[in-house]
Structure 1
Amino acid sequence: MTEHEERKQRRLDARSLRGLAHPLRMQLLDALRQHGPATASQLAERLGESSGATSYHLRQLAEHGFVEDAPERGKGRERWWQVVDQGIRFDSADFEDASPEVRGLTEVFLQEGAARHARELSTWLGTRDQWPQPWARATDMSDMTLRLTPDLAVELIGRLHDLIDGYRDRVPDKDTPESEQVRIHTHLFPIETD
């Protein structure tokens, strides 16, 4: 089984949303995805939090299946954590008849996700001059407007996700010159027009 097959995207449901919809938990999960396995203390230092808070929220993420022990990394009593899935997929259709509590958690999850996207983009804009020229040409910040039906919008989202997933099997080794992790944000939403 390849790493791509082992660590696919996880589709959120009401139970898993309860375990994830907290700003620090989402930040912990992102830090582990971007930087690899770490201890609660290392994550606390990276995120400017107390190790008690990171430890508690890591245990909550583990209880809901988002992170797990990375025992090959630990020494003695040191507990290392790693992610379970490559990413998260949120489908609003899964929450249409949700309770008020779950709708509130959905709002926390979506708002924190949007804030994270804005922070990541802002960080890129502030540091883009520090990257080699090939990376300056290999970035995109586009927006497009189409007229679609809901069915066409769902089809487009699926095709975009499939296209991106097709690149997971083409991932170069960490030792490949010029290879870097990249972030891809997709947003599709209706806008009011006159």
Structure 2
Amino acid sequence: MVSENEKTPVRQLDARSLRGLAHPLRMQLLDALRFGGPATASQLAAKLGESSGATSYHLRQLAEYGFVEDAPEHGKGRERWWKAAYRGLRFDTDLLDDSDPAVRGAADMYLHEVATTQTRDLSTWLGNRGSWPEEWRHVGDMSSATLRLTPELTQELVEKMHALIDTYRDRAAAEDAPGAEQVRLHTHAFPIRTD
């Protein structure tokens, strides 16, 4: 039997689901489950430096909006284990122009939290890279390029970058492959003004 996660690996955010996700702790909880695997509210509280009451509440909210689900195969006794319902999220930029100001605010907050998380990920890597084995210390990338593009060419470039990344999903190393680690990729494409 194919799990829902395998059938629908990426969830398209809409106005309703965005309202349920656009909270910094909820986004951290979802990322912790997506990248760290199933966990209890207490385990997540310890990992994120929060109270188990707060993590329990926000996990229930995430479940109400379909982002997380029970993982009973991990539980013992009264422990409630949670897992991410989807491997990824897709943000529709039309949400930034929604007629409802609450949706626009949630969309803006979501994007700022994503940017904060990505900055924190990169900063953590820079601060800890010396603790990684030698073969991992020199494969990271912090490049940037400034190109003169039209909106259409920018969209084409973004789609091609995402298509390239997708080709590596099928080539991903097995969990137990020697030397394999989770590798985080961030892509950014945005216009800038120069004087």
Length-normalised TM-score, structure 2: 0.94
Indicate the RMSD between aligned Cα atoms, in angstroms: 1.6
Deviation at 1:127, TM superposition (A): 0.5
Aligned to 1:85: 86
Percent identical residues? 64
Q: How does 1:118-157 map to 2 (within 5 A)?
A: 118-157=119-158
- 1:167 and 2:168 aligned: yes
Taking the aligned partners of 2:38 and 2:3, their CA distance within structure 1 comes to 19
Deviation at 1:7, TM superposition (A): 4.7
Taking the aligned partners of 1:11 and 1:45, their CA distance within structure 2 comes to 30
Taking the aligned partners of 2:138 and 2:8, their CA distance within structure 1 comes to 30
Q: Deviations over 1:114-173 (max 9, x none)?
A: 111111111000001111121122111111111111111111111111111111111111
Change (3 A) 1:160 1:181: same
In 1, are the aligned partners of 2:10 and 2:90 still within 8 Å (CA)? yes
Secondary structure of the structure 2 residue equivalent to 1:155: helix
Secondary structure of the structure 2 residue equivalent to 1:106: helix
Secondary structure of the structure 1 residue equivalent to 2:173: coil
What residue identity is the alignment partner of 1:190?
P
Length-normalised TM-score, structure 1: 0.94
Question: Could you list the runs of 5+ residues in structure 2 that have no partner in the other structure?
Answer: none
- 1:107 and 2:113 aligned: no
Taking the aligned partners of 2:43 and 2:95, their CA distance within structure 1 comes to 35
Q: For structure 1, which segment, 20-29 or 162-171, has the greater mean C-alpha deviation from structure 2 after superposition?
A: 162-171
Taking the aligned partners of 1:5 and 1:74, their CA distance within structure 2 comes to 22
Aligned to 1:15: 16
Taking the aligned partners of 1:59 and 1:89, their CA distance within structure 2 comes to 22
Q: Deviations over 1:74-123 (max 9, x none)?
A: 11211100011111121213442331111111111111111111111110
Taking the aligned partners of 2:5 and 2:42, their CA distance within structure 1 comes to 29
